[in-house]
């Protein structure tokens, strides 16, 4: 899995299915996922330790380096006894530099090596975010990656927030939101009868900005796995949910069945789809992106979001917005959102859209509708950075803008 991410630019999710074919037991799968997560959360720190214990630095892509990262993650972060961590790691180097790996591990283990309290972000990411947002944001992001975030839930019925927060032993940052400690979601109260779904609080904001639907039509253009479709349906919109990934739409179907909400599902490429003649009252474009805003849950994004990937995503985002703009009724509302911390996918896309689509203007977001700590930018859009909601457990990074069609 680590090879697939670090050498082939794949996501952990994409690599998992293949890797897990060889791991039948749930506890083995859990351990593998935990090792991968820990290595990716703190890779520069493991590498610094490894380099401190070798005379000649191992090449970046050396197998011995990868095996040592995994052994150290177990020993230093996952409380695996050191002898167990190294004795399960060394067989991975059969025919290779076992003695070297054993020596490095032994030196670090005997020297009581520890990890810094605050992880170090990969250098290219730290440099890019520092240039865009400043050093304080980089420090907040590093702090935020130290541990997986709490569990955020969106409620189908916001009027039940207080009772659900109590039942779930959580707290609420907004009506319709409950935050609690991580847990196996299927065991929590209200799961089986579909009273809520898992959704980071930042990811819940774009659909909230469309308000009550009162039966009007909404197109959710990149819908799967469907948190925002569920919200729109619960808010009373008649929703068409489109996505090109059939397997992800299947999860949306399951979530609709569990919550008793409804939406028309369409499997299609948004850039090719022949939209129906009747325009929509509202469109939500939760576009594919580098996903750097979800680095706390998916630290692999830090190693995959290259400038090339970001530029390619920005082109797709502009093309999607352009197509969506033609399917909206005059007076209709278009919300554009990306879980990205890159200005090229957020602010720059919004500015270019406004320039090339004079019939659209920003409908400024109202601060009253936001959790404490978030502020609307002078342009009227919302940029959510690590650190802004740090006290109650943070949030994903996002860019969200609402346009109105004149």
Q: To the nearest whole angstrom, how small is the minimum distance from the Cβ of residue 306 to ligand SAM?
A: 18
Helix residue ranges per DSSP H, 90-222 = 98-110, 123-133, 135-144, 161-167, 205-208
In sequence order, what DSSP letters do the residues of 288-349 get, joined into one string? Answer: ----GGGTTT-TTHHHH--HHHHHHHHHHHHHHHHHHHHTEEEEEEEEEEE----GGGTHHH
Q: Which is nearer to ligand SAM, 15 or 287 (CB)?
A: 287
Q: Is 250 in the site for ligand SAM (CB under 6 A)?
A: no
Nearest CB to ligand SAM, comparing residues 36 and 223: 223
86 is written with which tokens? 């190294």
Shortest approach of ligand SAM to residue 228 CB, angstroms?
4
Site string for ligand SAM, 227-246 (x = CB under 6 A): xx--------------xxx-
Is 339 a residue of the active site?
A: yes
Residues 6+ positions from 166 with CB-CB distance below 8 Å: none
Distance CA(348)–CA(304), nearest Å, equals 21
Q: Which residue in 222, 289, 313, 339 is the catalytic one? A: 339
| Range 163-222, binding ligand SAM (CB under 6 A) | 222
Alpha helices (H) along 189-226: 205-208
Q: By CB under 6 A, how many residues form the interface with ligand SAM?
A: 16
Q: Does 332 bind ligand SAM (CB under 6 A)?
A: no
Residue written as token pair 């990868």: 66
Residue 225 touches ligand SAM, criterion: CB under 6 A:
yes
d(CA 38, CA 147): 9
Q: Between 222 and 321, whose beta carbon lies closer to ligand SAM?
A: 222
Confirm or reject binding of residue 286 to ligand SAM (CB under 6 A): yes
What is the distance between the alpha carbons of residues 44 and 73, in angstroms, rounded to a whole number?
Answer: 12
Which residue's beta carbon is nearest to the bound ligand SAM? 222
The verdict on 226 binding ligand SAM (CB under 6 A) reads: yes
Q: Which of 182, 186, 162 is nearest to 174 (CA)?
A: 162
Cβ proximity to ligand SAM: between 125 and 221 the closer is 221
Nearer residue to ligand SAM within complex by CB, 84 or 319? 319
CB of 209 to ligand SAM, least distance (A): 13
Q: Is 270 near ligand SAM (CB under 6 A)? A: yes
* Residue whose CB is less far from ligand SAM, 38 or 345: 345
By CB under 6 A, which span of 58-66, 154-162, 164-172, 266-274 interacts with ligand SAM? 266-274
Q: What angle do CA 331, 379, 241 make, to 5 degrees?
A: 45
Sign (positive/negative) of CA torsion 308, 347, 172, 188?
negative
b/e sequence 221-243, b meaning 16+ C-beta within 10 Å = bbbbbbbbbbbbbbbebbbbbbb
Shortest spacing between CB 245 and ligand SAM, in angstroms: 4
Residues acting as catalytic residues: 339
Summarize as ranges the residues that interact with ligand SAM (CB under 6 A).
Answer: 222-228, 243-245, 248, 269-271, 286, 288
């Amino acid at each position: 899995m680590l090879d697939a991410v670090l050498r082939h630019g794949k996501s952990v999710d994409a690599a998992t299915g293949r890797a897990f074919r060889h791991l039948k037991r749930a506890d083995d799968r859990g351990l593998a996922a935990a090792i991968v997560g820990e290595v990716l959360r703190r890779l520069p720190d493991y590498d610094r330790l490894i380099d401190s214990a070798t005379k000649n630095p191992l090449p970046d892509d050396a197998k011995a380096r990868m095996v040592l990262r995994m052994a150290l993650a177990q020993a230093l972060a996952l409380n695996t006894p050191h002898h167990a961590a190294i004795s399960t790691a060394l067989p991975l180097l059969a025919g290779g530099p076992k003695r070297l790996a054993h020596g490095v591990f032994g030196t670090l283990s005997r020297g009581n090596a520890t990890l810094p309290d605050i992880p170090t972000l990969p250098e290219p990411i730290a440099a890019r975010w520092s240039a865009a947002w400043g050093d304080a944001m980089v420090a907040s992001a590093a702090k935020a990656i130290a541990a997986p975030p709490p569990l955020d839930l969106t409620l189908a019925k916001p009027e039940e927030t207080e009772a659900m927060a109590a039942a779930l032993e959580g707290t609420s940052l907004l009506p319709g939101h409950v935050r609690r400690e991580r847990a196996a979601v299927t065991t929590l109260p209200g799961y089986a009868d579909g009273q809520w779904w898992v959704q980071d609080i930042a990811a819940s904001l774009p659909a909230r900005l469309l308000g009550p639907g009162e039966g009007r039509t909404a197109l959710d253009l990149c819908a799967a796995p469907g948190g925002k479709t569920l919200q729109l349906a619960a808010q009373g919109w008649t929703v068409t949910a489109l996505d090109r990934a059939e397997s992800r739409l299947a999860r949306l179907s399951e979530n609709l069945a569990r919550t008793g909400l409804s939406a028309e599902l369409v499997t299609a490429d948004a850039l090719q789809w022949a939209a129906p003649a009747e325009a929509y009252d509202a469109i939500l474009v939760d576009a594919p992106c580098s996903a750097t805003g979800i680095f706390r849950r998916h630290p692999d994004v830090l190693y995959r979001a290259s400038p090339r990937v970001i530029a390619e995503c920005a082109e797709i985002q502009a093309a999607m917005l352009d197509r969506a703009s033609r399917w909206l009724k005059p007076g209709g509302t278009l919300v554009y959102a990306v879980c990205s911390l890159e200005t090229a996918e957020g602010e720059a896309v919004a500015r270019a859209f406004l320039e090339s689509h004079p019939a659209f203007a920003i409908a400024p977001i109202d601060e009253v509708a936001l959790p404490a700590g978030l502020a609307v930018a002078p342009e009227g859009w919302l940029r959510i950075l690590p650190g802004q909601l740090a006290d109650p457990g943070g949030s994903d990074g996002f860019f969200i803008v609402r346009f109105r069609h004149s």
